[in-house]
Amino acid sequence: MSRAGERLINGLVKENPTFVLMLGMCPTLAVTTSAVNGLGMGLTTMAVLALSNLFISLLRKIIPNRVRIPAFIVIIASFVTAVQLLLEGYLPSLNKSLGVYIPLIVVNCIILGRAESYAYSNPPLPSLFDGIGMGLGFTVALTCIGAVREILGAGEIFGRAFLPDSFEPIRIFGQAPGAFFVLASLVALQNYVKNRLQREGKPYEKIGSGCTEDCMNCAETGCKKRFYDNSGTAETGARKSGKRPAVPGPDKEGR
Amino acid sequence: MSGLFKVSSNPHIRSKMTTDMIMMTVVVALLPAAGFGIYNFGPRALLVILVTVISTVMTELLYWLFMRYLCGQKQRELTVADLSAVVTGLLLALNLPVTIPLWMAALGGVFAILVVKMLFGGLGQNFMNPALAARCFLLISFPVQMTNFVCDAYTGATPLTALKAGEQVNVMDMVLGHTGGTIGETSVIAIVIGACILILAGIIDLRIPGSYLVTFALFVCIFGGRGFDLNYITAQLSGGGLMLGAFFMATDYVTRPITIRGQYVYGVILGLLTGIFRIFGPGAEGVSYAIILGNLLVPLIEKYTRPTAFGYRRGGARHEK
């Protein structure tokens, strides 16, 4: 059970999808106009993430390696459809304010990323908690960004007046540029704390297992977590076509 | 000498122009426009100018203190003395309406220095003009206060708004500056005096302002809907922030192209953008958006207008024997 707890902390802090991994930027920037929207988007994504992680992990021995991405997408899309129907039925106002970003959860890179890098090679229970942890991290991040933007851009928080009426809302924070400003400030704050901890001799490891997940610069070829294999295929392919071996980029499956 | 200089091996070109000297000249060149603004709009204009200048200088100072004592950058040099923050503050104030609440003016100063200049690496590293970026930040954030040009001296619409609505305007008043508008933009004469100071001191040349204004005049002539109406073209040229922008902001050393061909291209792009924004856009004014958009294109312009080095073919390949 300690592994489940480690996964939760990992998703919330060490490998926070928004502030550390910088994944899922599209919903992060687009829907965080208010704290409620951020919270709603985060929780919706978390539900899909946890369930898809669980089912992909359960099916990992059946899904053939070659068609794994389409299989993942089918599983994720089924859950997104279910969640969207539930939202339409029970929380129509949230569904309306999130709009097209609910169906777009299908292509959210956090979900596909966790499926590929964790759920496909780990047992169901840790995968479930990995999904919950990542989802919580995403939720916390989106709610924080949404709250700051709502306070500065409208003087409210969760729809209630927060600042006195004499405060003139800085409207840019309710618009797209404001999302970038707030995200950048929060990431900077996070990095500041991280650097402080490092300087005080408390090493802040990105990931508990010691893996940096920086597969591009990793020498360990037999690693199961590897996103792609840059030792064999990439070079032979380049040699055949007679070009200089390019820097190994993202693999061909669109990751 | 400024600490930002990195001395390379000789031969060196010697110049008495230092960053401080250039900035000082720009401040002097802006004084006519600022002085006319204070005369035109009353003492509150002086207050707005003071607030933005103090805000920009204090932001740069506090940022330095923060980086030096809390982030451990012991070698960091204090760059407030090069007056660039003063220039930014002054330019920002000249781009604000006189009625703006003072805290908004101060916020604009903080944004200009902290976000646009210091976070990108300080003087020489900013990717767009800090004063204009701050003006656009304020314009998006506080659209009502930033376009409130009704003050004690003037109650009507600004000449550009009147032009857009198809009314007649008094061109003589616009050239002299007896109109509503932001603090520093109204008087063409005061701005041109400042521009002459800059040109005579060798700080700027006419490449960017010239190509900018000519392109804009042609654009207005073709698409303005009034043909070659000299009155209309003069009004468009002297209205709004066009003169201030063309001479003081488009020519900013950091955010203009360094190649000579590139400067002409840049001026033409600015002229086209300003024309499009003014004539086809929803608002009456578009100089500030045109210039910051132009700033973003500068790296691209420089890439394609790079001169061919001696001994190289066009495109960068070396001559073979």
Strands (E), A173-229: none
Which tens digits make up the pLDDT trace of B118-144?
Answer: 988 888 888 899 999 999 999 999 988
Angstrom distance (rounded) from CA B78 to CA B49: 23
Cβ atoms of residues B211 and B271 within 8 Å: yes
Confidence at B5, pLDDT banded by 50, 70, 90: low
Mean pLDDT of B166-174: 79
Q: Which residue has the higher pLDDT, A230 or B28?
A: B28
Q: Best residue in B141, B148, B296 to probe A by mutation, most A CBs within 10 Å?
A: B141
User: Quick check: B258 pLDDT over 60?
Assistant: yes
pLDDT tens for A122-156 read: 899 999 999 999 999 999 999 999 999 999 988 88
Q: Is B115 on the interface with A (CB under 8 A)?
A: yes
Task: Write down the pLDDT at residue A218.
Answer: 57
Chain A hits for B115, Cβ within 8 Å: 181
For residue B48, pLDDT beyond 90: yes
Instruction: Identify the pLDDT of residue A237.
Output: 39
Is the pLDDT at B153 greater than 80? The verdict is no
Q: Which fold has domain B19-304?
A: Ammonium transporter fold (1.10.3430)
Pick left, alpha or beta for residue B225 (phi over 0 → left; psi -120 to 50 → alpha; otherwise beta).
left
Average pLDDT along chain B: 87
User: Between B131 and B179, whose confidence is greater?
Assistant: B131
**pLDDT at position A52, please?**
95
User: Is B152 strand, coil or helix?
Assistant: coil
Q: Answer yes or no: do B142 and A177 touch at CB < 8 A.
A: no
* Yes or no, beta carbons of B140 and A172 under 8 Å apart: yes
Inter-chain CB proximity B140 and A199 less than 8 Å? no
Q: Which residue has the higher pLDDT, A233 or B275?
A: B275
Q: What is the pTM of this model?
A: 0.81
What pLDDT is stored for residue B6 in this prediction?
A: 67
Is the confidence at residue A230, as pLDDT, over 70?
A: no
**Percent of chain B predicted with pLDDT > 70:** 95
Is the CB of A172 less than 8 angstroms away from the CB of B141? yes
Question: How many other CB atoms sit within 10 Å of the CB of residue A171?
Answer: 16
CB B126 within 8 A of CB B79: no
Count H helices and E strands in chain B, helices first.
14, 0
CA separation, residue A21 to residues A53, A140, A163, A210 (Å): 18, 14, 33, 16
* B142:A181 CB<8 A: no
| pLDDT, tens digit, 9 for 90 and up, residues A74-88 | 999 999 999 999 999
Q: What is the 3-state secondary structure (H, E, C) of B225-280?
A: CCCCCHHHHHHHHHCCCHHHHHHHHCCCCCCCCCCHHHHHHHHHHHHHHHHHHHHH
CB < 8 Å to A173, chain B? 141
Question: Looking at residues B44-55, what average pLDDT do you find?
Answer: 94
Instruction: Provide the residue type at B276 as one letter.
Output: I
pLDDT at A164: 80
Q: Stretch B107-128: mean pLDDT, rounded?
A: 90
Q: Which of A168, A175, A192 sits opposite B140 (nearest CB)?
A: A175
What pLDDT score was predicted for residue A238?
A: 39
| Residue A67: band (very low, low, confident or very high) from pLDDT cuts 50, 70, 90 | very high
CB contact under 8 A, B140 and A181: no
pLDDT for A245: 44
Q: How far is B71 from chain A (nearest CA, A)?
A: 8
Report yes or no: A227 at the B interface, CB cutoff 8 Å: no
> B145 at the A interface (CB within 8 A)?
yes
Closest CA to A10 of A121, A184, A112, A126: A126
Q: Under DSSP, is residue A161 helix (H, G, I), strand (E, B) or coil? A: strand
Q: Kindly state the average pLDDT of the residues B229-257.
A: 89
pLDDT of res. A226: 54
Task: Report the mean per-residue pLDDT for chain A.
Answer: 80
Q: Give Cα separations from B231 to B165, B171, B189, B265 (angstroms).
A: 16, 7, 17, 27
Does residue B55 carry a pLDDT above 60? yes
Interface test with B, best of A152, A168, A187, A189 (most B CBs within 10 A): A168
Q: To the nearest whole percent, how much of chain A has pLDDT over 90? A: 38
Domain edges within chain A: 2-160+169-199, 211-242
Q: How confident is the model at residue A221 (pLDDT cuts 50, 70, 90)?
A: low
Using CB atoms, pick whichever of B101, B107, B141 lies closest to residue A171.
Answer: B141
| Residues in chain B closer than 8 A to A171 (CB atoms) | 140-143
**pLDDT for residue A7 is more than 80:** yes
| pLDDT number for residue B230 | 84
Contact indicator for B135, B96 with CB cutoff of 8 Å: yes
Higher pLDDT residue, A227 or B226?
A: B226
Min distance A238 CA to chain B CA atoms (Å): 26
Q: Write down the pLDDT at residue B159.
A: 81
pLDDT digits 0-9 by tens, A174-183: 888 899 999 9
pLDDT band of B242, cuts 50, 70, 90:
very high
Mean pLDDT, rounded, for B295-321:
80
**Cα dihedral B21→B22→B23→B27 (10° resolution):** 100
Spatial separation of the C-alpha atoms in residues B135 and A156, rounded to whole Å: 25
Task: Name the least confident of A128-142, B36-50, B139-153.
Answer: B139-153
Q: pLDDT class for A234, splitting at 50, 70, 90?
A: very low
Domain range summary for chain B, segments of one domain joined by +: 19-304
Q: Chain A residue with minimal CA distance to B116?
A: A181
For residue A199, list chain B residues with Cβ-Cβ distance below 8 A: 72
Query: A68-90 and A35-58 helices cross at what angle (nearest 10)?
Result: 140
Q: Which residues of A touch B141 (CB under 8 A)?
A: 170-173
Instruction: Return the minimum-mean-pLDDT range out of A169-173, A195-199, B138-142.
Output: A195-199
pLDDT at B91 over 60: yes
| Token pair in block for residue B170 | 């008094």
| Distance from chain centroid for Cα B41 | 21
ipTM of the complex: 0.79
Q: Tell me, yes or no, if A187 comes closer than 8 A to chain B by beta carbon.
A: no
Helix (H/G/I), strand (E/B), else coil: B33? helix
Q: Does residue A38 surpass a pLDDT of 70?
A: yes
Tell me the pLDDT band of A242, cut-offs 50, 70 and 90: very low
